[in-house]
Amino acid sequence: MAKTMRCDHIAWMQCTNENNRLRLQENFRLSSIVSSLPDPFNQYPGTIAFYGKRHMQNALREVFPRNKFRRSSGRSLLNLRLDIVSERQDHPILFADGDLTNLESTCFSGTCHMSKTLPTSWNGVDAQQVGRLLHARLAWLFVDVICVFAEDYGGLTGIMDLISRFVSCGSASSLPQATRPSLIIATPSWTRSSTLAVIEKDTLHQTIKERSRAMESVFSSIKVLELTDSTVSSLARYRRLKEVLLNELDHGRIIRLETKTLFLAEHLVAFWMSASRSIASDAFRDFDFIQASRQDLRTPQDFTSHLSTFVNCALTYGCSHTTCSVL
Which domains are delineated in the chain? 11-296 (3.40.50), 302-327 (no CATH)
Percent of the residues in the chain that have a pLDDT greater than 70, as a whole number:
83
Which residues touch 233 (CB under 8 Å, ≥6 apart)? none
Write the burial class of residue 187 (CB in 10 Å: 0-12 exposed, 13-18 middle, 19+ buried): buried
The CA distance from 268 to 92, in Å, is 13
pLDDT digits (tens, 9 = 90+) for 208-233: 766 677 888 999 999 999 998 777 78
Q: How far is CA 217 from CA 136, 181, 275, in A?
A: 11, 10, 18
State the pTM of this model: 0.86
Answer yes or no: are the C-beta atoms of 69 and 61 closer than 8 Å: yes
The HSE-up count of residue 202 (CA atoms within 13 Å, CB side) is 6
Instruction: Evaluate whether 157 touches 205 at the Cβ level (below 8 Å).
Output: no
> First and final CA of the chain: distance in angstroms?
32
What is residue 5's predicted lDDT score, i.e. its pLDDT?
47
* Best CA proximity match to 109, nearest among 72, 71, 69: 72
- pLDDT the model gives residue 3: 45
Rounded distance between C-alpha atoms, residue 97 and residue 205, angstroms: 26
Q: What is the pLDDT of residue 92?
A: 98
pLDDT of residue 1: 47
Q: Could you list the pLDDT tens digit for every one of the 327 residues in the chain?
A: 444 445 678 999 999 887 778 899 998 999 999 999 999 999 999 999 999 999 999 999 999 999 988 755 557 899 999 999 999 999 999 999 999 999 877 655 555 667 889 999 998 898 899 999 999 999 999 999 999 999 999 888 888 889 999 999 999 999 999 999 999 999 987 545 566 666 666 766 677 766 677 888 999 999 999 998 777 788 888 999 999 999 999 999 999 999 999 999 999 999 999 999 999 999 999 999 999 998 776 666 666 777 778 788 888 877 776 666 645
Residue 26, SS3? strand
Name the CA dihedral angle for 82, 85, 86, 88, rounded to a multiple of 10 degrees.
100
Distances (CA, A) of 85 to 64, 67, 82, 111, 240: 8, 8, 9, 29, 18
Q: How far apart are CA 272 and CA 10, in angstroms?
A: 16
Q: How many CB atoms lie within 10 A of CB 213?
A: 7
Per-residue pLDDT at 235? 83
Residue 60 pLDDT: 96
